Every structure is written in structure tokens, then in C-alpha cells.
Structure 1
Amino acid sequence: MEAQKKLEIVGVEDEAGNPISALTILSLLERVAGIIDNVQACQQRMEERQQELEGSIKSIQGDVLKLAKDHGETSGTVDKLLQKTRKVSANVKEVRSRVEKQNTRVKKVETTQDELLTRNKFRVVIYQVRRIDDVYSEPS
């Protein structure tokens, strides 16, 4: 009993009013130390994970910046292509207009030619007949 009294801490009692032994306190302190060690280990893992996340975020930020730069360059290229397309479209419209005008002129010329041929048909026939007669009338 006396050994047990030596282990009891004077002035420290449990809820029932019984004195608490030094072994109980030592056991509790060891548990608390284990919990603190566990918390510190978890905290260290969280810090390492946070550093990994920060590295990943920096990498993603770099990729986003590169993507934004590439997007800007692509946007410039697309603008240039659109300008060229507009110019080509304007040129195509101009060429189409010229071709339509030329077609109109060609149709007018064909109509005029048809009228002239109709008027001169008899003469052409006579000319052709004379040529044929000349061929037949040549002495052999």
C-alpha cells in the first residue's frame, strides 16, 4: 500500500475523489504524446501535399499562360485569314461582274453576227456556188 501511496500524486484526484497515480498520468501523457506525434505527422503530410499542389498549380498557370499566348497568336492568324478571305471574296465578286458583262457583250456580238449572216446569207451562198463552179469548170 505504501508503494501505491508513493505513486499517488498529492492534490490530484479523479472524478470520484480518489487520488490519481503517477502511472496513470504517465500513461495519459504517453497517449497525448502519441496523438501529438500523429497530428504532427498528418500536418507534415498535409504540408508536403500542399507543396505538391502548389507545384501543380504553378505548372498549370504556366500552361494557361502559354495557352493564352498561343490563343493570341491564333487569333491574329485567324484575323489575317479573314481579311484575305474578304479580299478574295471582293475579287471574286468583281470578276463575276466582269464575266457577266463580257457574257452580255458576247451575246450582243452573237446576235449581231446572226443578223449579219442572215442578211448576207444569199451572197455567201453565191460565193460558195461560184467557188464550186470554178472548181468544176477548170479544164483537166
Structure 2
Amino acid sequence: MNHEDDKQTLDSDSVTALVHNFYTDVRADPVLAPVFDEAIGAHWPEHLERMVQFWSAVALGEHGFKGDVFGKHMALDGVTPEHFTLWLGLWKKHTEALFHPEIARALQYMAHNIARNLFRGFFGHFPQGNLAADPAAASAG
């Protein structure tokens, strides 16, 4: 059986599946979960809905997401470079599991650009190297 045949096209349903599967792993991660749980608390259903809207806007060009992504993230406490590396690693895992390589790479590129800008907001500089590939590079500089 060719597993490439199981890969999804990029549409509303696949974005929803990606977001829900991804955040299931985020919530189970011992490093990421505390930061997310502190920020989101009991509002996970609403957060997931907003993240589907956000990624639908970013990946599909859909309208409907309104929000201050940068400001919301800058209000978080306890964020470290490792959080970015872990988040991007999980995103890579889930995009590669669901999508053909070219779609997965495009989604990873989008996430990496978002992460770089948020990283700069938290730490005052862009990360050195690839955040998802080298945890040590994320904290350098």
C-alpha cells in the first residue's frame, strides 16, 4: 500500500484535522502543555476553533480570522527558545503525516515565518539557523 495515496489535499477539512491533531500533541507535551494550559485554561474548544480560523486564513486565504496574534503571544510568561523548537517539530510531524511533501513544506514555511517573528518579539533578535532543526541554534545569538 502506498501511504502517499493517504495524503490529504489542503482544504477546510484537512486544516481542521491538522489543527486538532497538532494541539492534541501540544497538550500532551510536558514542556509545551504548561504554557498553553496557563494561557488557555478551560477555553480549549474556543482556542481550537480560533486556530482553525487562523490557519484557514493563512493557508487557504479564507476570511474570518480577526485578532492580534503578536500581542496575544507577547503577553505570555515563561516562553523559551525550546518552546519554539518543540512547537515547530510537532507542526512538522503533523503536516508531514497529513499532506503531500510540497503542501507540508509550504505549511512548515508559513509556521516558521510566524515563529521567527514571535521569537524576535520575545528575545529581541531573530533565531540563528532553523528553529525546528537545531534547538541550540534557537537560543544562540
* Common fold: TM-score over 0.5: no
Task: Pick the TM interval, shorter chain.
Answer: under 0.3
Structure ranking higher in strand proportion: 1
Q: What is the TM-score with the length of structure 1 in the denominator?
A: 0.19
Q: Could you say which structure has the larger radius of gyration?
A: 1
